[in-house]
């Protein structure tokens, strides 16, 4: 069984119920999540050995976050205890023509104050075949970025496959550097990359224009980062806050493969959709590295499924993703 290590920050998400605005809220629904944690949960449900590494405070919230991962089969032995606080984010769910809104509260969190040398990388990577990270970790702080760079270098030296979801978050880059100052060096050793045109431009400093077709964008990313063997991107059309279309594209073996385009009316929760797609990409590439069309179809189906599950985690089985990929509409009751 392939062992995947996901490194990133787990957060507590707080949302007003019933699509209320934050200013109206008198109560909040709580969910644990975070980009890399979301990937780990999906992979564990699909039968892979998924390990999550992060740093959380040694208090009840930190332990609750760890327990949230354990209940879905994620290996949390390498989670570090320390620091002042667990990061939070507040989600105001959109409705109709009112978009969703995220407010971060993660300054001085345990993961943002991660320092180089805190992780014992040789031990952490022992037996690991795949390391996954996202652009959120280097956005937190200079020290978190350097700690991540240590792990990527060690993984590259061990010939471990490294994947990255660029996950550009403009509001997180607040310590005096731009993503383009840091991200290209971190992405260079990677084999698998997920992003979109905006993220490729802002994080990797590539001269790409909005509206360029994937058939032009993805080969340019490959040319700039030749170590990559698989590069994915998505195209989303937002008709309203609760009605989107979603399609995936994958550069592999010298050509671009396009998935089916899904119409997604009445969606419940788009947070974690990209993480579900990333997990689907890892799962597909690990099982069938020479089936790019199947891989992007699987990944986009996993991402679509997540839009109909509340919370950050994509709670679904291999059989459920495969059924959606094969055309099941969801109209029938399964009994």
What tens digit of pLDDT does each residue of 277-329 get?
999 999 999 988 889 999 999 999 999 999 999 999 999 999 999 999 988 76
β pairing state of 192-195 and 230-240: parallel
Model pLDDT, residue 289 = 85
Range of the domain at 105: 1-113
CB atoms < 10 A from the CB of 211, how many? 6
- Nearest-angstrom CA–CA distance, 140 and 109: 9
Model pLDDT, residue 327 = 84
Model pLDDT, residue 140 = 97
Instruction: Note whether residue 15 is domain-resident.
Output: yes
Mean of pLDDT over the chain: 95
Average of per-residue pLDDT across 126-149: 98
pTM of structure: 0.96
CATH of the domain at 94: 3.40.1190.20
3-state helix, strand, coil in the chain (%, to 5): 35, 25, 40
pLDDT cut 70: percent of the chain above it: 98
Model pLDDT, residue 332 = 59
Instruction: Note whether residue 67 is domain-resident.
Output: yes
Instruction: Note whether residue 57 is domain-resident.
Output: yes
For residue range 258-285, what is the model confidence (pLDDT) as tens digits? 999 999 999 999 999 999 999 999 999 9
Instruction: Note whether residue 50 is domain-resident.
Output: yes
| 123 vs 329 pLDDT, higher one | 123
Residue 333 pLDDT greater than 50, yes or no: no
Model pLDDT, residue 290 = 87
- Nearest-angstrom CA–CA distance, 224 and 209: 16
Among the residue ranges 133-142, 163-172, 189-198, 323-332, the one predicted with the least confidence is: 323-332
| 153 vs 328 pLDDT, higher one | 153
For residue range 193-248, what is the model confidence (pLDDT) as tens digits? 999 999 999 999 999 998 899 999 999 999 999 999 999 999 999 999 999 999 99
Residue 18 pLDDT greater than 90, yes or no: no
For residue range 101-115, what is the model confidence (pLDDT) as tens digits? 999 999 999 999 999
Instruction: Note whether residue 101 is domain-resident.
Output: yes
CB atoms < 10 A from the CB of 107, how many? 12
In sequence order, what DSSP letters do the residues of 210-268 get, joined into one string?
TT--HHHHHHHHHHH-TT-SEEEEEEEEEEETTEEEEEEEEEETTEEEEPPPEEEET-S
Find the Cα–Cα–Cα–Cα dihedral 204, 205, 206, 209, rounded to 10°: 110
Q: 22 with 321: CB under 8 angstroms? A: no
Eight-state DSSP code of residue 95: B
Q: 82 with 57: CB under 8 angstroms? A: yes
For residue 32, which of 80, 72, 4 has the smallest C-alpha distance? 72
Instruction: Note whether residue 299 is domain-resident.
Output: no
Instruction: Note whether residue 325 is domain-resident.
Output: no
Angle, CA of 77, 162 and 107, to the nearest 5° = 60
Instruction: Note whether residue 125 is domain-resident.
Output: no
Number of domains in the chain: 1
For residue range 45-81, what is the model confidence (pLDDT) as tens digits? 999 999 999 999 999 999 999 999 999 999 999 999 9
Model pLDDT, residue 156 = 96
Q: 145 with 21: CB under 8 angstroms? A: no
The three-class DSSP label of residue 127 is coil
């Amino acid at each position: 069984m392939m062992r995947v290590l996901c490194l990133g920050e787990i957060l507590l998400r707080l949302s007003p119920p019933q699509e209320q605005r934050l200013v109206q809220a008198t109560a909040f629904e709580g969910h644990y999540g975070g980009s890399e944690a979301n990937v780990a949960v999906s992979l564990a449900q699909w039968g892979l050995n998924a390990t999550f590494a992060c740093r959380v405070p040694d208090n009840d919230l930190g332990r609750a976050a760890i327990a949230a991962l354990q209940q879905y089969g994620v290996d949390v032995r390498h989670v570090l205890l320390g620091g002042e606080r667990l990061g939070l984010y507040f989600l105001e769910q959109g409705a109709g023509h009112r978009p969703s809104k995220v407010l971060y509260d993660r300054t001085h969190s345990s993961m943002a104050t991660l320092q180089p040398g805190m992780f014992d990388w040789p031990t952490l990577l022992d037996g690991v075949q795949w390391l996954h990270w996202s652009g959120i970790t280097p956005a937190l702080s200079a020290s978190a970025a350097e700690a991540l760079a240590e792990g990527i270098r060690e993984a590259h030296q061990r010939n471990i496959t490294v994947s990255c979801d660029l996950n550009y978050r403009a509001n997180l880059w607040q310590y005096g550097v731009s993503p383009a100052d840091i991200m290209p060096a971190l992405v260079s050793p990677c084999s698998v990359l997920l992003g979109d045109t905006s993220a490729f431009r802002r994080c990797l400093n590539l001269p790409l224009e909005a509206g360029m077709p994937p058939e032009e964008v993805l080969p340019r990313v490959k040319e700039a980062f030749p170590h990559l063997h698989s590069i994915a991107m998505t195209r989303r059309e937002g008709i309203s806050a609760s009605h989107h279309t979603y399609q995936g594209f994958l550069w592999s073996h010298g050509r671009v493969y396009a998935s089916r385009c899904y119409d997604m009316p009445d969606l419940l929760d788009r947070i974690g959709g990209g993480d579900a797609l990333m997990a689907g990409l890892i799962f597909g590439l690990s099982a069938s590295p020479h089936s790019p069309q199947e891989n992007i179809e699987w990944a986009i189906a996993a991402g679509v499924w997540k839009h109909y599950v509340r919370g950050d985690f994509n709670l679904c089985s291999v059989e459920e993703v495969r059924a959606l990929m094969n055309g099941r509409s969801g109209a029938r009751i399964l009994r």
